[in-house]
Amino acid sequence: MTLHDRTTKSLLHLHKKKKPPSISAQFQTSLNKLLEALGKAEPFFIRCIRSNAEKKELCFDDELVLQQLRYTGMLETVRIRRSGYSAKYTFKDFTEQFQVLLPKDAQPCREVIATLLEKMDIDKRNYQIGRTKVFLKETERQALQETLHREVVRKILLLQSWFRMVLERRHFLQMKRAAITIQACWRSYRVWRMLERTQAAVYLQAAWRGYWQRKLYRRRRQSIIRLQSLCRGHLQRKRDRGSPQEDISSSCTSTHISEASPSDPGTLCTSPLPTQTQLCHK
């Protein structure tokens, strides 16, 4: 139990007994609260300096400001801080704060910190490394902070460049896939159109050839039918013209055979047959 808790409990106990707390007890309570608040916080004292005696804006009196700095002891404080080791870090705090400047998986030890300070070409007279702490002057601390800031900015830029590279590469791959898809669709469309044109050309050629073959077939068929009709007509007319002469020839031949001698049955008539003119005269 802290002193503040004990005092508060005593004050509450006095309040229960209907006795008001004394002034010293109230002061002690407020003082304990202030000490506890100061112990938990990190106070920073700000010194206010007047720029001019007339309280005018945008007016800076060098002599008045210098006089105030001397009277308040600021110049002496700065000189003392510059001459001494104002920055004090434990090995662990130093490693955590300047982890960016240290190698990966660096341990909080004296050798690692000494290697870093030697690498940065810091004067050995301006820092000291003890058993558990590192003592630095203000200029060296500022140099370390600036180096840390530059390294952090460099790594931030590196991360940003890598991140932008990943985004741009992802965007490029998406655009590439989209372009390949569009090209494939366009090529398939062109092939499809070419096939359609080829099929249309083949269909037209087939239709045209079929038309010409049908037309040629009709012409040939009509020519053949006409030729057949002419041949049949000619044969029929020729047959019609030759039928009476064949009847007369057959009748004359039979009459001439009957007039032959019966004593010579084996002999035939060797007399010449009558000609067509003679038959016509008879």
- Domain annotation covers residue 100: yes
Asked whether residue 100 falls in the same domain as residue 76, the answer is no
Domain containing residue 17: 1-40
How buried is 164 (Cβ within 10 angstroms: 0-12 exposed, 13-18 middle, 19+ buried)? exposed
Asked whether residue 175 falls in the same domain as residue 92, the answer is yes
Asked whether residue 91 falls in the same domain as residue 198, the answer is yes
Asked whether residue 157 falls in the same domain as residue 140, the answer is yes
- Domain annotation covers residue 70: yes
Residue whose pair of structure tokens reads 């400047």 in the numeric block: 101
Mean pLDDT of the chain: 79
Q: Which of 177, 205, 233 is the last residue of a domain?
A: 205
Asked whether residue 32 falls in the same domain as residue 2, the answer is yes
Structure pTM?
0.45
Neighbours of 14 (CB within 10 A): 14
Instruction: Return the minimum-mean-pLDDT range out of 41-55, 125-139, 175-189, 254-268.
Output: 254-268
- Domain annotation covers residue 246: no
β-bridge mates for residue 90, sequence order: 133
- Domain annotation covers residue 10: yes
- Domain annotation covers residue 125: yes
**Which residues of 59-175 form beta strands (DSSP E)?**
87-90, 127-129, 133-136
Asked whether residue 92 falls in the same domain as residue 194, the answer is yes
154: domain CATH number?
A: 3.30.70.1590
Asked whether residue 171 falls in the same domain as residue 116, the answer is yes
Asked whether residue 134 falls in the same domain as residue 57, the answer is no
- pLDDT tens for 178-232 read 999 999 999 999 999 999 989 999 999 999 999 999 999 999 999 999 999 999 9
What total of structural domains would you count in the chain? 3
- Domain annotation covers residue 280: no
Categorize the per-residue pLDDT at 8 as very low, low, confident or very high, splitting at 50, 70 and 90: low
Asked whether residue 160 falls in the same domain as residue 194, the answer is yes
Distances from the Cα of 47 to the Cα of 35, 44, 50, 57, 260, angstroms: 22, 10, 10, 19, 183
Any residues with CB less than 8 A from the CB of 260 and at least 6 apart, and which? 267, 268, 269
- Domain annotation covers residue 66: yes
Q: Which of 205, 224, 244 is the last residue of a domain?
A: 205
- 74 has pLDDT over 50: yes
Asked whether residue 99 falls in the same domain as residue 142, the answer is yes
- pLDDT tens for 126-153 read 888 888 888 888 888 888 899 999 999 9
- Domain annotation covers residue 56: yes
| Distance from C-alpha of 127 to C-alpha of 85, rounded to nearest angstrom | 7
Asked whether residue 27 falls in the same domain as residue 120, the answer is no
Asked whether residue 109 falls in the same domain as residue 60, the answer is no
